[in-house]
Amino acid sequence: MNAAPGPSAQEIRHAAALLREGKLVAFPTETVYGLGANALDEAAVARIFEAKGRPTSSPIIVHVSGVEMARSLVTEWPPAAELLARQFWPGPLTLVLKKQQAVPSLVTAGLETVGVRMPAHPVAQALIEAAQLPVAAPSANRFTQLSPTTAQHVREGLGKRVDYILDGGPCSVGIESTVLSLAEPIPVLLRPGGISRQQIEAVIGAISQVSGAPAASAHPAPGMHPRHYSPRTRLLLVRNGELPRTGAGAYLQLQHSPLHEARETIAMPLDPHAYAAQLYRVLHELDARSYDWIAVDTPPDTPDWEAVRDRLRRAACNE
Ligand code: TXA
Ligand code: MG
């Protein structure tokens, strides 16, 4: 999973020291790279918004070393949180719970809740352990741009806006965590992701869902800006291999052969997890080629493709 040699213990200590000084450190998680700051330091968190160019109306996920640290940030730790953390942590599941006062309202965009998650990546865990701090971290990209799944993506996207980058190789999950609110009477799926709704329902029973396109003003499902996770190139979701007839472009093929010519056709994995693991990297690469369009073979309308379909819908400009 973490095939690259990865940062040394000294680099981790250095990064942890920077976090404690209020600086920004980008680090790998199993989902995407995060842009981290001390979650309890409001000025440090303000720098995240600045570096991303992100409106402060979007709350930021807080990364923790385990259940104990998570509990220190929330006022209630309901049985569902305990069950889910036991089953899926460390891993790509963010739990939204009522926040403690110590969590600055800038982290939560003024909401009374905070999203917490224990990442599975060993470098992320080592960083949090070394810093002895909860680490607020959105994806380490400029607002509305593609999420980074390699350290190189972070360098290209944020450059000098980040104080330090820990390189842990490519992310294995490849799309962001599932965000589940436990602050409502019935748990609400705010963002599909690395852990599927079926996996969650197998543990805590039925959950409800905030669907589709959200208001521009966000909340309570922020991050749900219609255009999010987008390449610069026009991305089109297509069916049955129907590509645009004009301009030069690339086709991300799943099940349908292209009916017209594409400059480049990429055969994507038929397994949704393998597809997710490659998606952002492929889009980053294609985006660098300045095509007129990227056409994506629409994935099946089945539950196992929910998270991938969600990201593609947000990246596309035809919906
Ligand atoms: O996989 C991930 O979750 C990555 C890695 C770095 O951990 N992080 C990430 O963060 O994707 P970000 O900031 O790009 O997306 C966080 C999303 C927000 O857009 C929002 O939808 C939701 O999580 N969120 C966070 N805190 C919330 C809260 N208190 N209430 C509702 N939604 C919240
Ligand atoms: Mg993001």
The domain boundary residue, chosen from 209, 243, 275: 209
Query: Which run of H or E residues covers position 274?
Result: helix 272-287
Give the model's pLDDT for residue 225.
52
Same-domain status, 123 and 88: yes
Peptide bond into 231 cis (omega under 30): no
pLDDT tens figures, 170-220: 999 999 999 999 999 999 999 999 999 999 999 999 999 875 444 333 344
Give the model's pLDDT for residue 36.
98
CB of 190 closer than 6 angstroms to any ligand 1 atom = yes
Give the model's pLDDT for residue 209.
82
Same-domain status, 128 and 84: yes
Give the model's pLDDT for residue 222.
44
Give the model's pLDDT for residue 262.
95
Same-domain status, 204 and 238: no
Ligand nearest the Cα atom of residue 146: 2
Three-state SS annotation for 63-111: ECCCHHHHHCCECCCCHHHHHHHHHHCCCCEEEEEEECCCCCCCCCCCC
Residue 223 counted as domain residue = no
CB of 58 closer than 6 angstroms to any ligand 1 atom = yes
| C-alpha–C-alpha distance, residues 32 and 25, integer Å | 14
Same-domain status, 182 and 87: yes
Same-domain status, 187 and 270: no
Residue 219 counted as domain residue = no
Same-domain status, 74 and 194: yes
Residue 227 counted as domain residue = no
Same-domain status, 204 and 284: no
Give the model's pLDDT for residue 199.
97
Dist. CA 178 → ligand 1 center (Å): 9
Taking the model in full, what pTM does it have? Answer: 0.94
Beta-carbon contacts of 142 under 8 Å, excluding residues fewer than 6 positions away, are 52, 53, 157, 158
Atom 10, ligand 1: residue with shortest CA distance = 138
Dist. CA 230 → ligand 2 center (Å): 10
Number of the ligand 1 atom closest to the C-alpha atom of 94: 3
Residue 2 counted as domain residue = no
Amino acid at the residue 211:
S
Q: Is 35 exposed, middle or buried (0-12, 13-18, 19+ CB in 10 A)?
A: buried
Tens-level pLDDT at each residue, the chain (319 residues): 445 578 999 999 999 999 999 999 999 999 999 999 999 999 999 999 999 999 999 999 999 999 999 999 999 999 999 999 999 999 999 999 999 999 999 999 999 999 999 999 999 999 999 999 999 999 999 998 899 999 999 999 999 999 999 999 999 999 999 999 999 999 999 999 999 999 999 999 999 987 544 433 334 444 455 556 688 899 999 999 999 999 999 999 999 999 988 999 999 999 999 999 999 999 999 999 999 999 999 999 999 999 999 999 999 975 4
Dist. CA 138 → ligand 2 center (Å): 6
Give the model's pLDDT for residue 318.
58
Number of the ligand 1 atom closest to the C-alpha atom of 193: 1
Same-domain status, 174 and 93: yes
Same-domain status, 150 and 277: no
Residue 226 counted as domain residue = no
Residue 260 counted as domain residue = yes
Same-domain status, 194 and 238: no
Give the model's pLDDT for residue 319.
46
Dist. CA 66 → ligand 2 center (Å): 22
Same-domain status, 39 and 128: yes
CB of 179 closer than 6 angstroms to any ligand 1 atom = yes
Give the model's pLDDT for residue 226.
52
Residue 162 counted as domain residue = yes
Atom 17, ligand 1: residue with shortest CA distance = 223
Number of domains in the chain: 2
| C-alpha–C-alpha distance, residues 216 and 195, integer Å | 26
pLDDT tens figures, 209-247: 875 444 333 344 444 555 566 888 999 999 999 999 999
Residue 165 counted as domain residue = yes
Q: For a ligand 1 pocket test, name from 179, 189, 310 the mutation site with the most ligand atoms within 8 angstroms of its C-beta.
A: 179
Parent domain of 59: 9-209
CB of 223 closer than 6 angstroms to any ligand 1 atom = yes
Give the model's pLDDT for residue 261.
87
CB of 34 closer than 6 angstroms to any ligand 1 atom = yes
Question: What CATH number is attached to the domain comprising 117?
Answer: 3.90.870.10
The domain boundary residue, chosen from 153, 174, 209: 209
State how beta strands 208-209 and 62-63 pair: unpaired
Dist. CA 29 → ligand 1 center (Å): 13
Q: Provide the mean pLDDT of the chain.
A: 93
Same-domain status, 191 and 239: no
